[in-house]
Amino acid sequence: MAKCEVCNKGVRTGHRISITRSQVSRRANRMWRPNVKKIQIRETNGNVRRAKICTACIRSNKVTRAI
């Protein structure tokens, strides 16, 4: 599965809960997947490589994009 190389954000698992008459009647397994993009980044030594980075890390400038 996809995982962010900066913050290690990965797949989270849990239950989808169906509620009727204020009681938990059914539970179905589900997964929450991170929004991971494959982008080119520039490392500290100047090398350019592809990496899987989540959009939260891209927006917060934790990596520098090589364009």
CA distance 59 to 67: 15
- C-alpha 63/C-alpha 12 separation (Å) is 23
Q: Of the candidates 51, 47, 56, which has an alpha carbon nearest to the alpha carbon of residue 38? A: 51
State what percent of residues in the chain have pLDDT above 90: 75
Residue type, 66: A
Whether the model clears a pTM of 0.85, i.e. scores above it, the answer is no
Q: What would the pLDDT profile of 22-46 be if each residue is shown by its tens digit?
A: 666 788 899 999 999 999 999 999 9
Rounded distance, CA 43 to CA 63, Å?
Answer: 8
Pick 35 or 21 by higher pLDDT.
Answer: 35
